[in-house]
Structure 1
Amino acid sequence: MTTDQAIREAKNRWARRRRRLIGYGQWQPFTDAEPARQHVLAIKATGMGLAQIAKHTGVNRGSLDHLLYGSPPVPPAAQIRTENAQALLAYWPSLDDYEDRNIIDGTGTRRRMQALAVAGWPSRAVHQRIRVGNPQTIEKLRACTKVTARLARAVRDFYDEVSAKTAEDYGVEPWIAGRTRTYATKAQWAGPEAWDTDIIDDPDAAPDWTGCCGTDRGWWMHNLNDIPACPRCEAAHAAWLAERRDLPARERWRQLALAKGAASNRGVNLAHDARELMRISGLTPDQAAERLGVTRQHLYQELTRHPDPETELAA
C-alpha cells in the first residue's frame, strides 16, 4: 500500500467511525495528542521537516506547530482532531519522500556500498556510474552514519540495478574487482546475498549469510560453506555448546554430528524442493520461496550453492 493509499484509507476509516458514533450519540471529534506528537517527532528525527510532513499527510503546518510547540504562553496541544491524528499515524516517509538536501540516516547507504564492494565494485567505479558527489565522498559512504537523500537515492538505484551480478559482469577489470572484493572480505562486510531489500535500511536488522544466521544451524552452514561465522551465529553456537556441557562425551559428539548433518542436508533439500515446485507448478523463485516458508534471499543462496547437476552445471 502506498503512502497516499494509507492516508486515504485512514481518512475513510475515520469517516465511517464518525458516522457510526454520531448515530450512537458518542461522537468525539478530538483525541489524545501524545501518540501523534511522538510519531511526528520520530519522523522529524529521520531528517524530514514539518513543511514536508504537512505536504505528505495533508495536515496543515499550523496544526503541526501547535501539536509540537503550542503558541507561548499556550502549551502544546493536549488533544488533536481525530482525522489529523489518524493521517499522521498512518504516515511513515519512504526514501523518495525526502528532498535532495535532507540529511537522513546512512544505514542503508552504508550497507549497500559495502555489499557492492563484496561484489567487486570499487568506489571510483560506483562514482563513474552514478555521477553524484565525488570519488572521495563515495569512498566515505562505506562508513557513513548520515547522508543526503540525493546520494542515498543514487546509491539505492544503482545497487538495485547491478547487485544481482558481479562487477566483472559490468566491465570492471577483474584485478580491480578482485582487489576490492579481498578488502571487503577482510572487513567482513556483507554482500548482496546477505541482505533482503525489505530490511537493508532497518538499523535494527542484521545480515543473513546463511538463511539461518542467529542459530546453531547457521554456525554450521557458515563452516560448511567456508564463510566466516558472524557474531550472531558464534553466540548461538556457544549457547548450544553450553546447554550440552554436562552431557557425556559420547552423547555430546553424537549431537554435534547430527547438527552438522542436518545443516549440510538442509540446503540441498531446499534447493531440490524449490526446483521441483518451479518445474511442476510453474512457480517463480519468489513464489517458491513463499511456498517453502523461507525468504527469497535464502532460497537464492541455496540455489547458487547447490546447482542442478543436470542443467546448471552443464551450462
Structure 2
Amino acid sequence: MSCACGTGQAKGLGLCATHYAEYRRRQITYGRWNPRVPADAVRAHVEAMRAAGVNQNQLAKLTGVAQPSLSRIMATGPDKQIAAWVEAAVLAVPVPERAAAVTTDTALVSILGARRRFQALVASGYPAAQLARELGVTRTNRTIHSLMGHRADSDGRVTQEISAERERAVKALFDRLQMTPGPSAQSRALGERRGWPLPMEWDEHALDDPNARPVRARWTPGSAWEERREQVAALTARGLTENEIADRLGTNARQVARDRARHNERTEATAREPNSAAVAVRTRRDIPAHRTTPTPDRRRSR
C-alpha cells in the first residue's frame, strides 16, 4: 500500500514516513496528539466484524492495517495499548449486515443468506435452471448445487462459502423476483417437499442471521395470495397497523407491506380502465336511436 503522494510506502494513517511526520507535528501543535490508546474498542469491533462474516484478512484489506497486527491486538491482554491511527482505521469500517456488502468480489463469505434467498425463489415457483441463467451459469454449475443445498465438495460436504460477487448477484435477483410468484408448479412442489420457506416468510434482516427463523404463514402461493391481499386491504381500511394485521393473519409485517403495495397497484390500474357497467348502460340507451335512424340508401345512383 503506497502513500497518496506516490513517493513512499504507507505507514501510519496510510501516509509515508515524511507525510506521517508532518501530520504528527501538526497534531502536537494543535494539542491533539494521542499516539497510544486502549485496544478495547478495536477488539470489540473486530469481533463484531467476525460475527458479520468479515474475517481478519478481509478486514486488513479494508482498513490498511496488516493482518499480523490485527492478530497481535486480538491476542494480547486487556491493558494493551495500540496506535491511535490503527484504532481510527479499524473503527472507520462499519459493521455490515452482510459481509459481501463490504468485501472484494473474490472474497469468500458465508453462503447462508444466498442459499436461503435462492431456495425461497425456487419455493415460490422459479426453476433452478431459470435462476441459474439469470446468474449467468448453467444448472449443473457447482454454485447452483451449493445454493440448492446439495453436497458439492470433493469430500461430500455441503459448501458453506461463496464469492462475495456471486452472493451480491443472488441478493439482487431475490430483490427483483421476490414479490412475483414464479411460473413452475413443479418448483413450488419441490420447495414444499423440502420445507423451504417462501420469500414472504423471511424478514429482510433475518435472511443472513444464522440464528433467525422464518415466520411460517398460513398462506400458500396461488389463489390464497389473493385472498390474503383482500383481507389485508379490509383490515387496513379499518385502521389496523402492519404489525396488528400480521398478528391476525399469521404472517409478518414485511409481507403485509407487500400486499398493501400490490393491492394499491391493482386499485390504481382498475381506476384507469373504462367503467364497463357505464359502457353497457350507454350502449343499451343507444340501441333505440340506432333503430329509428333511417338507413341511408346505398344503391348506386344512375
Partner residue in 2 for 1:146: 160
Q: CA deviation at 1:120?
A: 0.9
Please list every run of 5 or more consecutive structure 2 residues that lacks an aligned counterpart in the other structure.
1-26, 150-157, 222-229, 247-251, 274-302
Partner residue in 2 for 1:101: 106
Q: CA deviation at 1:108?
A: 0.6
Distance 1:299 1:48, change over 3 A: closer
SS of 1:104's partner is strand
- Answer with 117-126 or 78-87: which moved more: 78-87
Q: Equivalent of 1:110, from 100, 115, 122?
A: 115
Q: CA deviation at 1:44?
A: 4.6
Tell me if structure 2 keeps the 8 A contact 1:118–1:191.
Answer: yes
CA distance in 1, matches of 2:40, 2:185: 53
Partner residue in 2 for 1:272: 237
TM-score (norm: length of structure 1): 0.53
Tell me if structure 2 keeps the 8 A contact 1:115–1:190.
Answer: yes
Distance 1:301 1:189, change over 3 A: farther
Tell me if structure 2 keeps the 8 A contact 1:46–1:104.
Answer: no
Instruction: Count residues in correspondence.
Output: 220
- Answer with 123-132 or 177-186: which moved more: 123-132
Partner residue in 2 for 1:92: 95
SS of 1:205's partner is coil
Partner residue in 1 for 2:170: 155
TM-score (norm: length of structure 2): 0.55
Tell me if structure 2 keeps the 8 A contact 1:132–1:154.
Answer: no
Whether 2:257 is the aligned partner of 1:299: answer: yes
CA distance in 1, matches of 2:130, 2:117: 14
Distance 1:303 1:40, change over 3 A: closer
Please list every run of 5 or more consecutive structure 1 residues that lacks an aligned counterpart in the other structure.
1-17, 169-176, 211-221, 228-264, 276-287
Q: Equivalent of 1:124, from 119, 126, 129?
A: 129
Rg comparison, structure with higher value:
2
Partner residue in 1 for 2:70: 64
1:108 corresponds to which letter in structure 2?
Answer: G
CA distance in 1, matches of 2:110, 2:54: 11
Q: CA deviation at 1:166?
A: 2.0
Tell me if structure 1 keeps the 8 A contact 2:36–2:82.
Answer: yes
Partner residue in 1 for 2:3: none
Give me the CA root mean square deviation. Answer: 4.6
Q: Equivalent of 1:203, from 203, 210, 214?
A: 210
Spell out, residue by residue over 1:150-186, the C-alpha distance to the aligned partner (whole angstroms, 9 max, x if none): 3312211211222221222xxxxxxxx1011011122
1:79 corresponds to which letter in structure 2?
Answer: Q
Spell out, residue by residue over 1:279-308, the C-alpha distance to the aligned partner (whole angstroms, 9 max, x if none): xxxxxxxxx959x99834333246769998
CA distance in 2, matches of 1:182, 1:266: 26
